[in-house]
Amino acid sequence: MRLVRVGGETSTVGTDLRAALASWGRGDAIVGGVAVLDVQPPGCPGPIDAVVVMPRGVLVIVGVDLPDPAVRLDAPLAGQWTTDGWPLVRPDGATNPAAEALAATSAVTALLQAERTEPVPVGTVVAIGPYVSQVSQPTPDLVRGVRILHPEPRNLMTAAKELATHTRTCTVNEVRQILAAVHPEGPALDNAELAAEGFVDTAARDAAATTTFIPRTVLAAHHGKHERDEPTSGLRWLPIVATILIAILLATGIAVAISSANKGSAGKPENSTSEIPVDGVAFTAKGSVEHTDCAAHAYGDVRTWLEKNGCARLIRGRFEATSDGKPVAVLVSVLRFTKSASATELRAVADKPGAGGIVDQGAQGVAWPGAHQPAFESAAYASGREGNSLKLVQAVWLDKKSNPDDPALRSVVTKALQLTLAG
């Protein structure tokens, strides 16, 4: 993590924040990226403790100084904060300091959109200090992409991994554009420096590919043209003919490989747009994604259990269906384990009300296909076993508010348990 200091101290807890970022060291061994400290991006209402640009996302970190250390902080995004059961009231009268952080994130997001930078997830971190032992956040706030924490290195690293979830690594040109938008007067970092922090140097990659390919072609041509005199002129043509034949064979092989690959990808269930009928309800697949870091895509007690026990693989599948003539968004999550007992244990945790679950990609910056953007905070829920796997299903209305006890939605999630995700 490369640190770029811009202004003076923004908050007292900013000292702890800078120490945590510095402890990650240089390079991408942990998370990589560039942290612009104590900066006020154009259009922001005030300075921000840090804007951290990582290979797969951006974090807006705002420091909040509490009056005293606390054992427990209850910190909803909407509502009164309390420390150890006592209402928090700051000298400026603010009862919910998170509003400042959300305003800063909105300003940075709008700035990046205006500058037409690569669309990456922009998460919010509220760094609180002095020391707080435990922070409690409502589940919908976590799904929204907001983390409130004391900036110890491990806490901050966990938040970074949870919130920076872009589907691909940003290139050095893309991150340079993001940095220029956040801090136009900032230092110009060269490609090597940015590549060392985990960003993709496409120019170097392309140059390496060219360097590898061109000399071999030149050498082959040189060999065919300037070979020592052979006993007959016909033999001098043999290298050229051989080269031509090899080129034809390679071209044919590539064409066959591409054709085979296209046929294979077209047959994958997750890319199919065909309807899958289940007991009178037609489900249309909208894509799926696989992970091995299962806890990073969970929240609440389910996340806590996965952090402790792990899982072999997580598959998240998106579907759309229709019930009573209304469109429904369905999220099917399959957690695969090596032992059936693990699936049983996690199901007991996940089935408890308010225990959390698996987040949709929409909470991590990957929009739902189409015009609607469903939120799964009030989803109907069902769970089921599948061998050594646990299947969790959530469903919400696409065009109106949802209720987890809605009979129509409960019918959809029950039927969706019969859907199969490849992988």
Residues in contact with 288: Cβ distance below 8 Å, sequence separation at least 6, in sequence order: 270, 315, 316, 317, 318, 421, 422, 423
Nearest to 392 by CA among 362, 359, 367, 423: 359
pLDDT tens digit sequence for 356-396: 899 998 877 888 988 888 888 789 999 998 778 999 999 99
Q: Do 285 and 245 meet the contact criterion of CB atoms below 8 Å apart? A: no
- Domain boundary assignment for the chain: 2-196, 233-266, 270-416
- Nearest alpha carbon to residue 273 among 283, 263, 265: 283
pLDDT attached to residue 259:
39
Residue 354 has pLDDT above 90, yes or no: no
Token pair 């009164």 is at which residue? Answer: 80
Question: 23-39: per-residue pLDDT in tens?
Answer: 877 776 567 899 999 99
pTM attached to this predicted model: 0.52
pLDDT digits (tens, 9 = 90+) for 274-294: 688 888 899 999 999 999 999
What's residue 145's pLDDT?
87
Higher pLDDT, residue 368 or 210: 368
Predicted confidence (pLDDT) at residue 211 exceeds the cutoff of 50: no
Q: Comparing 96-105, 237-246, 319-328, 352-361, which segment has the lowest mean pLDDT?
A: 237-246
Partners of 136 in the β-ladder = 74
Q: How far is CA 150 from the centre of its chain?
A: 22
Tokens 């049983």, residue located: 344
* Per-residue pLDDT band at 40 (split at 50, 70, 90): very high
pLDDT score of 60: 95
What gap in Å lies between CA 16 and CA 62, rounded to an integer?
12
Percent of the chain with pLDDT over 90: 35
Contacts of 61 (CB under 8 A, 6+ apart): 17, 48, 49, 50, 51, 52, 125, 126, 127, 151
Give the residue from 387, 388, 400, 391 showing the smallest Cα distance to 418: 391
393: phi then psi, degrees, rounded to nearest 5: -125, 135
Sign of CA dihedral 373, 374, 377, 378: positive
Taking residues 193-200, report their average pLDDT.
Answer: 90
**What is the Cα Rg of the chain in Å?**
27
Structure confidence by residue, pLDDT tens digits, 299-343: 888 999 999 999 999 999 999 999 888 999 999 999 999 888 899
Task: Return the structure tokens found at 357.
Answer: 């679950």
C-alpha to C-alpha distance for 412 and 419, rounded to whole angstroms: 11
- Report the chain's mean pLDDT, rounded to a whole number: 80
Token duo for residue 299: 């929240």
